Chain A
């Protein structure tokens, strides 16, 4: 594939020399990793962070093993040696490179960048305009000269604007500041490390080395695959999969995010779920007489076949949050799905202006929840808000028409514990309804038209058509919409946090699961406990989705 310029013999010699260097490099790396592991268990610098020590040990030992394996494999010209070498060097390069970024303060430099970024925004617009000019050239598809001219002008505008953007946001000053920080041993070591690893990647990656290591097409494809996936996969591991496992770990500890966590086993889960039931002698018997109030607090009392039962829970607020969340989901999901189904059926009729309405219904779902909650806070105002005004006007109108004497209820939406959760439900339903309408509309447009034609021939009315054709054919979309809305509703937080003051609402009536988790994890910093709550929430969501999925599959096979 590659054009060969040097004599083959000379090039092979050259490649062999480079591969020998690679073998030495891996041998050194293996020794260095083992030494590093040894040092890790001698030094006191990371004492107390046992999980970090374990993690680093595992990583270093893996590196030592990979390097130790790679060296003999390269000597034997086994292609697996090349793969191992590339993986080790690639990871080593990333660690050194981003470690250097971190040490040189490039990440924290993003804060300063924000200060100067404003000056660059006009140039970003200019880049966009350059793109538009280039895209405009595509209109002259039958005139390639003109098309190319536009594309070239667009490219030049984009390039110039981008360079000016870089200058405007202070690239030069930033680079000077960063260069000034290269003085200690650590940044220099990391920089040298980056260069060394990068060189070794080049040594192994280039075509002569591939040929010498007997690489075939599927090997190349595999290496390309890992390379292309690597940014995504590594980010996924570091910022998603790793934290996920770590979350499970800290849910078994008393972690407070800053000091060393202690293992507490299932205590968090036990505290969350611990409940007790007792029988009362009289319906109004004090709770303290039947249960230990140092552990339990009263949740509810009721009459069960003539016996007075009281239920106490160790973490009353958790059960309250769970109840609120369930009530929220049970009301908000139908409220945002059923009108959406109805609206999408109206929109699906072939009438002009359908696209306009579709766009309008979509608007609430693109707006920031924080802004929306602020708007609705005023609309819900008990004395001057529009909602009570509309209610009062409606009642007055009814009274005049029908001669009734209904009194204006003057609902105190946000400060009454009976209506606070309802207020949140109304906002969420309003916001998700339009999005769901658009989803349903997409599903409706996939239903074959001849089904309806056949039904019309058979004499089925539009009502029968809706129940017999539309709903069954729409079932997959309905499943998707209901599941997504439910998962989102179970995690309601932003709306409540902005709308309510304090966020838990009057009498904890708007305390949701995620809000409770936030209070525990980030106001009291009981992060171990909060993680346990998060996992309980996850299990609920998972069970719900799984159950729905099973039912969906069952009904799909029946149909």
Chain B
């Protein structure tokens, strides 16, 4: 009994570990999107990459007008936070020609040539004349040659600006803290007119969802409950079309839009999409499960077909309506191919979100934070709706015509 329980705990732990790893795999791109959308542009180009947005800290130091960035600096054997007071100071590395292994670093502009500026002394080394400079070491002036040049930054102590250390800026570790730049969202909205695209997408989605629900409900009711010649054949044709790829339709549909004059118009994004064979099929499948008796009683009482549909079928079909509504919502919100074809790149006014993102991708290629802020604007609304209506979403998929 003991070993059975142990095996069970071990199995469950393994299951949880695997499930969590996959969950992280599924979620990581979204977490990455969200955190990157809050970063500064230069923070997005770091290697190794970091998930959370960070920003160098700056501080005011006495004697300086501008705030100075803080860095970690080795001073008196301890790591301390110093402010970068001056960058790009030219430093010469000097060595005694007789003892070239010991080098000294001095600021170039403070070093004087041996013998004065006009007639600097030189020394031949390996057949080449090298300039000599006066370098003071422990109070003693020694003529030395310049071995190499470098640029360093001068870091000063925040408490006592007199204390300073020279150090390579590029190799120094800046002091950073966690930040967030939600203004990226405002910036990308202004850059690409995403507010208008968001409204366009919302409008298209609302109208397509309402239209699909309306046509599917009445069509589904007709298929499920009303007998008329040709009903079953028409239904078979509907079923057959579920398999036809959209790419077959896209050219003739485009030509139809050209002919009607809807190219570049929002109408082209809405009107052709409110008729759906899939939705009609879904509603029909749901309606045939509703018992006939209620309906027949209502018919005897003199109710019209429309009243029956409105008062009996609709209230009973909330799950099916939610399923169809979510599918048509996602379809309308996320569609890209058709808008790409039918709305021209120049017509920014009528761009939906996906189209704007496509343009933004080229325009803001040097600021991934803005691109991902745009992506977040497109992804977050369905995500929020998904979290709110999670029950409907997942349950609906499990019931959408898949009979195990």
Interface residues of A (CB under 8 A from B): 1, 52, 102, 107-108, 110-111, 113-115, 117-118, 121, 124, 218, 221-222, 224-226, 228-229, 231-233, 235-236, 239-244, 246-247, 250, 255, 257-258, 339, 343, 346-347, 349, 351, 353, 355, 357-364, 366-372, 374-379, 383-386, 389, 430, 433-435, 438-439, 441-447, 473-474, 476-477, 480, 487, 490-491, 493-494, 497-498, 501, 513-514, 517-518, 521-522, 527, 530-531, 534-535, 537-538, 541-542, 545
Determine which residue in A117, A357, A371, A513 has the highest number of CB atoms from chain B within 10 A of its CB, and name it.
A371
A408 CB → nearest B CB, Å: 12
Q: Give the chain A neighbours of B36 by CB distance below 8 A.
A: 378
Determine which residue in A110, A250, A355, A513 has the highest number of CB atoms from chain B within 10 A of its CB, and name it.
A110
- 7 additional contacts (CB under 8 A) given A240-B277, A493-B337: A107-B262, A111-B266, A117-B203, A236-B277, A346-B15, A375-B32, A541-B243
Within 8 A of A (CB), among B192-238: 195-196, 199-200, 202-203, 206, 214-216, 218-219, 221-223, 226-229, 231, 234, 237-238
Q: Which of A361, A372, A474, A487 contacts B245 (CB 8 A)?
A: A487
In the complex, are the beta carbons of B29 and A379 less than 8 A apart? yes
- What are 21 of the A-B contact pairs (CB < 8 Å)? A1-B302, A102-B260, A113-B266, A117-B202, A121-B202, A228-B221, A231-B214, A231-B218, A235-B275, A247-B249, A343-B22, A362-B394, A363-B27, A367-B382, A370-B354, A374-B375, A375-B33, A430-B26, A439-B402, A518-B341, A531-B248
CA of A358 to CA of B386 in the docked complex: distance in angstroms? 13
In the complex, are the beta carbons of A232 and B265 less than 8 A apart? no
Q: Which one, B44-52, B75-83, B103-111, B126-134, is touching chain A?
A: B44-52
In the complex, are the beta carbons of A434 and B252 less than 8 A apart? no
A435 CB → nearest B CB, Å: 7
Query: Does chain A have a CB within 8 A of B361?
Result: yes
A235 CB → nearest B CB, Å: 3
Q: Which of A374, A493, A497 contacts B372 (CB 8 A)?
A: A374
A343 closest partner in B (C-beta): B22
In the complex where A243-B252, A368-B382, A378-B36 touch, is A222 in contact with B215 (Cβ < 8 A)? no
B330 closest partner in A (C-beta): A366
Q: Give the chain B neighbours of A537 by CB distance below 8 A.
A: 245, 247-248
Q: Which of A114, A435, A531 contacts B397 (CB 8 A)?
A: A435
In the complex, are the beta carbons of B368 and A378 less than 8 A apart? yes
Query: Does chain A have a CB within 8 A of B154?
Result: no
In the complex, are the beta carbons of B227 and A221 less than 8 A apart? yes
B386 closest partner in A (C-beta): A366
Within 8 A of A (CB), among B228-270: 228-229, 231, 234, 237-238, 241, 243-256, 258-262, 265-267, 270
B167 CB → nearest A CB, Å: 26
CA of A438 to CA of B400 in the docked complex: distance in angstroms? 12
Query: Does chain A have a CB within 8 A of B376?
Result: yes
Q: Give the chain B neighbours of A383 by CB distance below 8 A.
A: 47
CA of A494 to CA of B336 in the docked complex: distance in angstroms? 7
In the complex, are the beta carbons of B252 and A244 less than 8 A apart? yes
In the complex, are the beta carbons of B267 and A233 less than 8 A apart? no
In the complex, are the beta carbons of A476 and B403 less than 8 A apart? yes
In the complex, are the beta carbons of B248 and A114 less than 8 A apart? no
Q: Give the chain B neighbours of A518 by CB distance below 8 A.
A: 337, 341
**4 closest A-B pairs (Cβ-Cβ)?**
A235-B275, A446-B404, A232-B219, A442-B398
In the complex, are the beta carbons of A385 and B49 less than 8 A apart? yes
Interface residues of B (CB under 8 A from A): 12, 15-16, 18-19, 22-23, 25-30, 32-33, 36, 44-49, 195-196, 199-200, 202-203, 206, 214-216, 218-219, 221-223, 226-229, 231, 234, 237-238, 241, 243-256, 258-262, 265-267, 270-272, 274-275, 277, 280, 302, 305, 309, 330, 333-334, 336-337, 340-341, 349-350, 353-354, 357-358, 361-362, 368, 371-372, 374-376, 378-379, 382-383, 386, 390, 393-394, 397-399, 402-404
Interface of A is mostly: helix
Q: Give the chain B neighbours of A359 by CB distance below 8 A.
A: 386, 390, 394
B202 CB → nearest A CB, Å: 7
In the complex, are the beta carbons of B227 and A222 less than 8 A apart? yes
B284 CB → nearest A CB, Å: 11
In the complex, are the beta carbons of A357 and B368 less than 8 A apart? no
In the complex, are the beta carbons of B228 and A221 less than 8 A apart? yes
Determine which residue in A110, A349, A357, A370 has the highest number of CB atoms from chain B within 10 A of its CB, and name it.
A370
CA of A386 to CA of B44 in the docked complex: distance in angstroms? 11
Q: Give the chain A neighbours of B397 by CB distance below 8 A.
A: 362, 435, 438-439, 442
A107 closest partner in B (C-beta): B267
Report the tally of A-B residue pairs with Cβ distances under 8 A.
331
In the complex, are the beta carbons of B403 and A384 less than 8 A apart? no
In the complex, are the beta carbons of B226 and A538 less than 8 A apart? no
Q: Which of B26, B280, B336 contacts A360 (CB 8 A)?
A: B26
A528 closest partner in B (C-beta): B251
A494 closest partner in B (C-beta): B336
Determine which residue in A228, A247, A257, A362 has the highest number of CB atoms from chain B within 10 A of its CB, and name it.
A228
CA of A480 to CA of B358 in the docked complex: distance in angstroms? 33
CA of A324 to CA of B4 in the docked complex: distance in angstroms? 50
In the complex where A235-B274, A369-B334 touch, is A114 in contact with B256 (Cβ < 8 A)? no
A12 CB → nearest B CB, Å: 22
CA of A275 to CA of B9 in the docked complex: distance in angstroms? 62
CA of A438 to CA of B399 in the docked complex: distance in angstroms? 11
Q: Give the chain A neighbours of B249 by CB distance below 8 A.
A: 240, 243-244, 247
A290 CB → nearest B CB, Å: 35
A36 CB → nearest B CB, Å: 20
Q: Which of B25, B227, B361, B379 contacts A368 (CB 8 A)?
A: B379
Q: Give the chain B neighbours of A370 by CB distance below 8 A.
A: 334, 336, 353-354, 357-358, 375, 378
In the complex, are the beta carbons of A357 and B255 less than 8 A apart? no
A477 closest partner in B (C-beta): B404
In the complex, are the beta carbons of A534 and B32 less than 8 A apart? no
CA of A379 to CA of B368 in the docked complex: distance in angstroms? 11
In the complex, are the beta carbons of B253 and A239 less than 8 A apart? yes
In the complex, are the beta carbons of B251 and A531 less than 8 A apart? yes
In the complex, are the beta carbons of B277 and A374 less than 8 A apart? no
CA of A121 to CA of B243 in the docked complex: distance in angstroms? 36
In the complex, are the beta carbons of B368 and A244 less than 8 A apart? no
CA of A559 to CA of B145 in the docked complex: distance in angstroms? 92
CA of A346 to CA of B305 in the docked complex: distance in angstroms? 48
Q: Give the chain B neighbours of A487 by CB distance below 8 A.
A: 243, 245
In the complex where A235-B215, A370-B357 touch, is A229 in contact with B222 (Cβ < 8 A)? yes
In the complex where A257-B255, A376-B29 touch, is A232 in contact with B243 (Cβ < 8 A)? no
Determine which residue in B251, B275, B305 has the highest number of CB atoms from chain A within 10 A of its CB, and name it.
B251
In the complex, are the beta carbons of B248 and A538 less than 8 A apart? yes
Q: Which of A371, A447, A545 contacts B404 (CB 8 A)?
A: A447
A489 CB → nearest B CB, Å: 11
CA of A241 to CA of B234 in the docked complex: distance in angstroms? 12
Q: Give the chain A neighbours of B398 by CB distance below 8 A.
A: 438-439, 441-442, 445
In the complex, are the beta carbons of A372 and B275 less than 8 A apart? no
Q: Which of A250, A433, A497 contacts B252 (CB 8 A)?
A: A250
